[in-house]
């Protein structure tokens, strides 16, 4: 039998608290075949391309759309949720996790079966008008190649994939939903994220100010951000934690 990942004291703190809030990042989906965005081995290890910047998109929409489609084509078409996503669903079903804020745009957590997911940076599964905010759900990612989606059928405004670009403001309703989840949760679990990017970093700072425990599950340490860390691969750690909580 594998060694216990979580000591009994921390386990009891979690079980006696209100349901927790997961804040997930790109490391969660690595085992699904998606590269991280930046860093060693990332899709854009140096600087991201200009089409991912909001003002550039406004000035060069057609070129940016070509970039969005190339980004889609650079990613594997066989990707799907992995054991880590499925373990989070089990923790939800057990009442240990109540809310999820994901910085990912792949939709894997919902596909795995999670319900209370806040997409902090949007999703590649939708196209949204930047004028009237009308959104269209895509049947599959290949629909992004449909040129008719580049203009809104409601107001003729400019559309883009419903993801937050650099220097684009996150929708206020998303921030409010995240703050509500933060207020209601009993603890925070960081999964596959360095937690250095705002507003996710701000949520963690607020949690610590409110004396809510912060647990980090990732390949790398979060330093002083976390009160407790389990370092390793999410897809290996989370299924074992499910077993430990079931014991």
Distance (Å, rounded) from C-alpha 29 to C-alpha 122?
A: 16
Task: Tell me which residue of 27, 25, 54, 81 sits closest to 203, measured CA to CA.
Answer: 25
Q: List CB contacts of 59: < 8 A, sequence separation 6 or more.
A: none
Tokens of 164: 């937050």
Is the peptide bond between 219 and the residue preceding it cis, with omega within 30 degrees of 0? no
Among the listed residues 60, 85, 121, 202, the single catalytic one is 121
CB atoms within 10 A of CB 49: 13
134 is catalytic: no
Catalytic residues: 121
């Amino acid at each position: 039998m594998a060694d216990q990942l979580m000591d009994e004291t921390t386990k009891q703190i979690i079980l006696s608290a209100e349901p927790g809030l997961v804040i997930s990042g790109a490391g969660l989906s690595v085992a699904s075949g998606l590269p991280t965005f930046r860093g060693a081995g990332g899709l854009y290890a140096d600087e991201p391309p200009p089409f991912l910047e909001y003002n550039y998109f406004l000035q060069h929409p057609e070129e940016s759309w070509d970039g969005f489609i190339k980004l889609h084509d650079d990613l594997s078409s066989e990707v799907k949720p992995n054991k880590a996503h499925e373990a989070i669903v089990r923790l939800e079903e057990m009442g240990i996790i109540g809310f999820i804020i994901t910085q990912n745009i792949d939709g894997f957590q919902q596909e795995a079966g999670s319900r209370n997911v806040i997409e902090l940076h949007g999703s590649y599964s939708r196209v949204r008008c930047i004028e009237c905010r009308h959104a269209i759900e895509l049947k599959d990612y290949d629909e992004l190649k449909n040129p008719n989606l580049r203009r809104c059928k409601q107001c003729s405004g400019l559309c883009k994939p419903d993801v937050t670009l650099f220097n684009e403001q996150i929708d206020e309703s998303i921030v409010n939903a995240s703050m509500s989840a933060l207020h209601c949760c009993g603890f925070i679990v960081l999964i596959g994220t360095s937690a250095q990017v705002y507003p996710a970093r701000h949520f963690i700072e607020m949690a610590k100010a409110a004396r809510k425990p912060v647990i980090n599950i990732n390949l790398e340490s979060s330093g002083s951000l976390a009160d407790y860390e389990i370092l390793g691969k999410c897809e290996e750690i989370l299924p074992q934690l499910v077993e430990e909580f079931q014991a």
